[in-house]
Structure 1
Amino acid sequence: MAGVGGPQPLSRVVDSSGPDGWAAMTDRPATVLATFLRWEQEQPDKVFLTQPHPDGRVVDTTWAEAGDQARRLAAYLRSLQFPPGSRIALLGRNSAHWIISDIAIMMAGHVSVPIYATMGAEQARYILDHSESKLLLVGKLDGTADNWPNIEKALPDDLPLLALPMSPRRDIPQWDDAIAGHEPLSHIHDGQPDELSSIMYTSGSTGKPKGVMHSYGAMQAICPAMIQVIGGGSPQDRAVSYLPLAHVAERAFVHCLLYVGGRIYFCNNLSTFAEDLRRARPTLFFSVPRLWTKFRLAVNAKLPAHKQRLLFALPLVSHVVKRKILRELGLDHARICFTGSAPLSPEIVAWYRSLGLEMLEGYGMTEAYITHCSTPGHARPGYVGTCTPGAQARIDGNGEILIKSPSQMMGYYKDPELTSRVTSADGFFLTGDRGELDAEGRLRITGRTKELFKTERGEYVAPAPIENLLGAHPRLEGVCVTGANHPRPFALLMLSADTQQAISDTTLARADLEAELGTLVNHVNATLANHEKLSCVVVTRQPWTVENGMLTPTLKIKREAIESRYLPGADAWLATERAVVWE
């Protein structure tokens, strides 16, 4: 429980300016910072980070250049004379400068506090206050793909700020001045494996964000484990970082690339994403179900599914067509792809695998990083794989998944009581997820323990498996199954943006879509127990977004917010006795 109270002391300082900088830090398990120092020494002139800019420039940063900038920023942070172990908040979309700043915070002996760029203003303010952050680094933001305009209004008046490149603020201290005005810090902080390195706040899907404390050792431990899972890595590996770095999965993904000395590319904005992806031609690629679904829909728009089936059946043509699809996606060099954060339809996974992608599913939590991942050649549809090396899992009598991991948290910041409640006597973390293990130890997630609800007959319904069945439909972007204390459950559906546009343009008749959804309900109901069968589905008018509070920053549904918004209309919808109801 180290780190529950105040800042951590500077435990050790090393001189990193000479060739022995990394060697001085290798007498114990490596940390992210020690790994960075290794590659900085061994391949100083190799490109580490590739950053496109709004003006069209694409800037490459070598390991040596990244190290120089990180040391100069660390010197700037030291010049502010904050107490050792002070919290430094990072707000911004993914960029080379986010990564360099993260390394600089370690070098200076402080603790990073990443904040989602799409987070609600009230939650962002809560994190800044709760963490007692001494400084906010304002990174790449533009107010269109993030919530900066609202977050800016909620910032504490007395909080010091520093603008990173591509920051919207020009009236505060700037990165270029901080870098130019300080010589590289020669004596950097040597964080010990059991020392607090970062406080990563949960996305707040069930209330206020919780500050999850991670040590230097925990943040590094996932890297060799994941590299073992995928069968190795090398400095030739490339990846695109575009999912929020405030999320544990993306941060672990980036750290794994750093671990093998690989190259990390970034994106300019959503409109340039395809171009940015093709520039990188990643060998490793991580995305979430919502985006994997969008990628497939984009392919289907150019090459309809029925034509794919015909072409894929032709031996001489199939390989050429599949390679062309992967090339257009920018994934023709990808040897491993990952999906996680939420379930992805087995049918969609099978489609990507049919193209030749090795797609692995993973499972983890902010509190324990990644504890499960399928392995190449041993994936089972609907399962998230076996324990990653060093991790353990068991299912308790109530069906809850308990996990223990080398990357497990030190505890919740300022909340030892909650930490104790979610930790078993033998050190396992109570995830709140329900699951089951097959004979080979592969894990299937069956829902959340707190999401179970009773119908008016007192029969339990687990919404997640039903949502997964409905969510596989290409016209749907969000699903929420609900219906506590009603005769039978029902589902709220958010149409995909393309489907909404097609209805608006009258290229898709509403009656045709209704028939399509009615067929979907019948197919799903045929697989369910009687008390689980859906009475109807309700097509909602309002999109669910992070901004309106219906989604978390990681694009998961906020069940309580959605139910609060829609349940008042349930009785009227059910009274229609229609299979498909339009809000």
Structure 2
Amino acid sequence: MTETQALIENRPPSVASLFLERVEATPEAEAYRYPVPAPSGQGPDSWASLTWRDAADRVFAIAAGLIDLGVRPEERVALASGTRVEWILADLGVMCAGAATTPVYPSTNAEETAFMLGDAECKVIIAEDAAQLAKARKHRAELPGLAHVVVIDAGDATPDAEDPEGWLLSLADLERRGAARLEREPGIVKERVDALRPEQLATLIYTSGTTGRPKGVRLRHDAWAYMARAIEATGLVRPEDVQYLWLPLAHVFGKVLTAGQISVGHVTAVDGRVDKIIENLAVVRPTYMAAVPRIFEKVYNGVAAKAREAGGAKYKIFRWAAEVAREYAKVSQDNFRHTGSKSVPFGLAVKHRAADALVYSKIRDAFGGRLRACVSGASALAPDIGYFFAGAGIHILEGYGLTETSAANFVNPGEAYRTGTVGKPLPGTEVRIADDGEILLRSPGVMEGYHKQPEKTSEVLESDGWFHTGDIGELSADGYLRITDRKKDLIKTSGGKYVAPAEIEGRFKAVCPYVSNVLVHGADRNFCSALIALDGPAILAWAKEQGMEGLPYAEVVAAQETQELIGDYVRQVNEGLQRWQTVKKFRLLPRDLDVEHGELTPSLKLKRPVVEREYKNLIEEMYAGARED
């Protein structure tokens, strides 16, 4: 048995057990950093730290507090909060109490929150603030099993006359209650952890879903313990690392990072405020972080737009440097694949050094100057954007996984990463490609099934453990996976040609620095069309240069000049496509797509049916009376 196999096969039964091991091994090492916001107008935030021992004190108090509230093993405790250190402590507290966490995005509306709390039969909800409390309170009559609400930021969360006695308490109250219970029964939490079995429910997490109501995915303790050890076994993350964690922890991508950290033992700086990312990068100076493709697209578009604003020579230098970066990345990766060396021709190396001094070094500095690698997941990253960052020294390791498979199944292997692929399977994960191209996975991370939906479970999970992902992909001879599209998203035109919309959308995002979201349409049509939403700050900055300063977004996108600008990018993309793939017509949307209107999932995936339904008039307008062959 290899060292990697031993690490995975000898894993503990749960992350709760793993947490206790970590606390015992490195009690005084720094575990978490978190911001302490400064009073308004009084300077930048300061940062505080917790050692593993500090974290354990709070986790045990939360766990004992939940036990004191009557929470039993496998009962559900909802967690409705943004990404913050208390989310991690509360999640660990739930698991150490033997219960199961049901994460809820704070952006989820009251009705859907109530649906999840009711479907999961949550006994307690740990809510971030008064706004999350209000959602539970609004539907309290429909949730008779919800015995308590615990509020993290309890300032404005005051008791209501309608609240049952003891129904509302603060997180501080819960921890005090837990500390008192621990004084009476010092071993109660450890007893719960020791009693955990690998097959027990640890997380009941609802898919945000690009169609229909969310489904509850049942993930066992063993799934997270496996993920933690498999991440450690890749060697991509090191004990000396500093991770910057801002991803939504209600999403499995964010949550799996917390499991991996416990296994490896590195520092994690936690702050989910997206508007603070740029500021925090300079302070945290991470060595690695994970993100979704939209963040890299926004960074790229922002850099490109800033160069364009500078005009003249600076914009020409940026465009030249961008092409050098892509060429350098492609050549070095190709050489590494065939020879094991990332050497490039002398002339390209000279150009790259010059571009580094002029452009790339500034981009690396913006990421804090110490970033060894980023992990990108949740959706596809446009290869041209990946190659740009690779050439600039920001190494983006694309990965792949699903809620139903505990988030991490494939990741690119460090120095041997290949842009445009999601890398190789994690140790302990099996993969095969079905006859129709669908990716099938089997691993300890695969879900137990969908909560209360055995018929839905049987549609995707075979009796021998193989999970049907719904994604189409290709495996290289040496095991690298390339995702080509969602099986259900493939377009078949009326001419019988299959089109992968994600491929075209990715190409467009790589060439157009003004795009925010794009949806390619064409199912049962005789040509492809596109709905395009532009990035507000980028297009308004361009509009200012064109003499349209002060005009609102909707008027800017409706202007003829803007239509022509985007039309040029559409034509540029079309030049590299097959005839049946080309976008013949497009419409610019009057506003960007967002989570609030239900057009994007909280992890920023496009909800195609929602967008196509909302903008049906624009789609029909593009096809009305037209014949494009």
Taking structure 1 as the reference length, what is the TM-score of the superposition?
A: 0.87
- Which protein is richer in helix relative to its size? 2
Task: Indicate if the aligned counterparts of 1:237 and 1:257 stay in contact, CA closer than 8 A.
Answer: no
Distance 1:45 1:513 in 2: 57
Identity among equivalent positions (%) equals: 31
Cα deviation code 1:511-542 (max 9, x no counterpart): 44433322222232233333322221111113
Q: Deviations over 1:1-48 (max 9, x none)?
A: xxxxxxxxxxxxxxxxxxxxxxxxx98635311221122223222221
- 1:318 match: secondary structure: helix
Please tell me whether the aligned partners of residues 91 and 137 of structure 1 are also in contact (alpha carbons under 8 angstroms).
yes
1:187-202 equivalent positions in 2, closer than 5 A? 187-188=188-189, 189-190=192-193, 191-202=196-207
Report matched runs for 1:394-543 at 5 Å: 394-472=432-510, 473-502=512-541, 505=544, 507=546, 510-543=559-592
Structure-2 separation of matches of 1:117 and 1:152:
12
Query: Structure 2: how far apart are the matches of 1:57 and 1:386?
Result: 39
| 1:175 maps onto 2:185 in alignment | no
Q: Say whether the 8 Å CA contact 2:31–2:50 is kept in structure 1.
A: yes
Local SS of the residue matching 2:122 = coil
**For 1:314 and 1:526, how far apart are their aligned partners in 2?**
27
Q: Secondary structure at the match of 1:244?
A: coil
**Whole-Å Cα distance in 2 between the matches of residues 420 and 575 of structure 1?**
41
Correspondent of 2:614 among 565, 570, 578: 565
More moved, 544-553 vs 274-283: 274-283
Q: Which residue of 1 aligns with 2:345?
A: none
The aligned amino acid for 2:293 is: P
CA distance in 1 between counterparts of 2:306 and 2:583 reads: 34
CA distance in 2: counterparts of 1:329 and 1:568, whole angstroms: 42
Aligned residue among 251, 259, 277 for 2:263:
259
In structure 1, what is the equivalent of residue 226 of structure 2? 221
Unaligned segments of structure 2, at least 5 residues: 1-8, 39-44, 160-167, 309-314, 325-350, 549-558
Which runs of structure 2 are paired with 1:73-84 in the superposition (5 Å)?
73-84=62-73
User: Deviations 1:173-227 (Å, cap 9, x if unpaired)?
Assistant: 1112222233245322122222211111111212111111111111121223223
Matches within 5 A, 1:84-99: 84-99=73-88
Distance 1:78 1:516, change over 3 A: same
RMSD: 2.7
Contact 1:53–1:268 under 8 Å retained in 2: no
Q: Distance in 1 between matches of 2:153 and 2:433?
A: 47
Tell me the residue number matched to 1:289: 293
SS at 1:393 equivalent: strand
Letter in 1 for 2:12: P
Give the aligned residue type for 2:598: G
Letter in 2 for 1:270: V
1:27-42 alignment to 2 at 5 Å? 29=12, 31-42=14-25
Structure 1 residues 269 and 33 mapped into 2: Cα distance closer, same or farther (>3 Å)? same
Q: Is the 8 A contact 1:493 1:539 kept in 2?
A: yes
The amino acid that maps onto 2:620 is D
Among 253, 273, 276, the alignment partner of 2:277 is 273
Taking the aligned partners of 1:121 and 1:337, their CA distance within structure 2 comes to: 34
Does the 8 Å CA contact 2:28/2:51 hold for their aligned counterparts?
yes
Taking a change above 3 Å as real, the CA distance of residues 38 and 535 of structure 1, as seen in their structure-2 partners, is same
Alpha-carbon displacement from aligned partner over 1:158-180 (angstroms, at most 9, x marks no partner): 53200114775244311122222
Residues 359, 177 of structure 1: CA spacing in aligned structure 2 closer, same or farther, 3 A cutoff?
A: same
Q: Following the alignment from structure 1 to structure 2, what is the Cα–Cα distance between the partners of residues 357 and 425? A: 42
TM-score between the two structures when normalised by the length of structure 2: 0.81
Letter in 2 for 1:177: D
Deviations 1:324-371 (A, max 9, x none): 4312222x2122211111111111111211222222100100111211
Q: Does the CA contact (< 8 Å) of 2:291 and 2:375 recur in 1?
A: yes
Pairs aligned (count): 547
